[in-house]
Amino acid sequence: MSEAKNRIIVALDVPTADEALRHIDELRNEVGAFKIGLQLITAAGTPFIREVVEDGVKLFLDTKFHDIPTTVAKASMEVARLGVWMFNIHASGGFEMMAQTVDAVRKVCSRDNLTKPKIIGVTVLTSSDQETLRQIGIVREVKDQVRNLALLSEKAGLDGVVASPQEVSLIRESISNPEFMVVTPGIRPSFAAADDQKRTMSPKEATQNGANLIVIGRPILQADSPIEAVRAILSEMDK
Ligand code: C5P
């Protein structure tokens, strides 16, 4: 698998397991991994997740946990037992929540001989802007809040963060560890519509700015031929 392929995570934002499985079958040799979010987790549940993982598919479970530290830590142990490659928690849940989660996941993985999933912190959702932050009492600029949460995630031992492509450079400038992963949604190849994404970047720009992994949904799943869409994205990235 080429370097560019490994960077692509397809967002399976579909309502049923059948639909998701069709996309996985078509694209599994073309991309690095698949993301399952709250809709499909809720609709299809853990039996579906287990089935996909047991079939050898790399899965990013977009759990976005945010609760008291012990609850998130325990839920995360169960996620680790599912055998997924990566999952995420909200960095705004705080240092203690993140650190306890890392500790609990490390312990369960070493005890049960499991591969530790990557744990990624959600910084500021791409749907949030200055006004959204102000409403919940955060007066910092979005970028400063992203930097703050990325630094806190690293301090708590997380493997990386999710952030908008606009914020990748500032995260790379603030965090010297080159292993720290930055995962970005809000990616639009040249041929795709922006949909509801406001601050987009092309796959090539995002990776040049330092994103390790790019999450792409509608430009692939809603294309007439998803496989051709992936190939067009890869050729844009290789240019
Ligand atoms: O927009 P696209 O279909 O490529 O979305 C892929 C992923 O990006 C979604 O699963 C969602 O997690 C995230 N997203 C986002 N901001 C939006 C819309 C989607 O971060 N406004």
Look over the chain and give the mean of its residue pLDDT values, rounded to a whole number: 95
Q: pLDDT confidence of 77, banded at 50, 70, 90?
A: very high
- What percent of the chain shows pLDDT beyond 70? 98
Ligand 1, closest atom to CA 218? 3
Residue 1 has pLDDT above 70, yes or no: no
Count Cβ atoms below 10 Å from residue 47 Cβ, excluding itself: 9
Active site residues: 64
For residue 217, how far is its CA from the centre of ligand 1 (angstroms)?
7
CATH of 2-238, picked from 3.40.640.10, 3.20.20.70, 1.10.579.10, 3.30.1330.10, is 3.20.20.70
d(CA 98, CA 17): 30
Contact (Cβ atoms closer than 8 angstroms) between residue 89 and residue 66? yes
Count Cβ atoms below 10 Å from residue 135 Cβ, excluding itself: 9
For residue 185, how far is its CA from the centre of ligand 1 (angstroms)?
6
Q: pLDDT confidence of 2, banded at 50, 70, 90?
A: low
Ligand 1, closest atom to CA 162? 20
Where are the domains positioned within the chain?
2-238
d(CA 189, CA 208): 14
3-class DSSP state of 133: helix
Ligand 1 pocket, residues with Cβ under 6 angstroms: 11, 13, 37, 62, 126-127, 185-186, 195-197, 215-219
d(CA 187, CA 161): 16
Q: Which residues contact 139 (CB under 8 A, 6 or more apart)?
A: 133
For residue 107, how far is its CA from the centre of ligand 1 (angstroms)?
32
Structure tokens at 136: 């919940």
Contact (Cβ atoms closer than 8 angstroms) between residue 203 and residue 237? yes
214-232: pLDDT as tens digits = 999 999 999 999 999 999 9
| Helix or strand holding residue 47 (H, E) | helix 38-54
User: 62, 215, 233: which to mutate for ligand 1, most atoms within 8 A of CB?
Assistant: 215
117-144: pLDDT as tens digits = 999 999 999 889 999 999 999 999 999 9
Dihedral pair phi/psi, residue 215, rounded to 5°: -100, 120
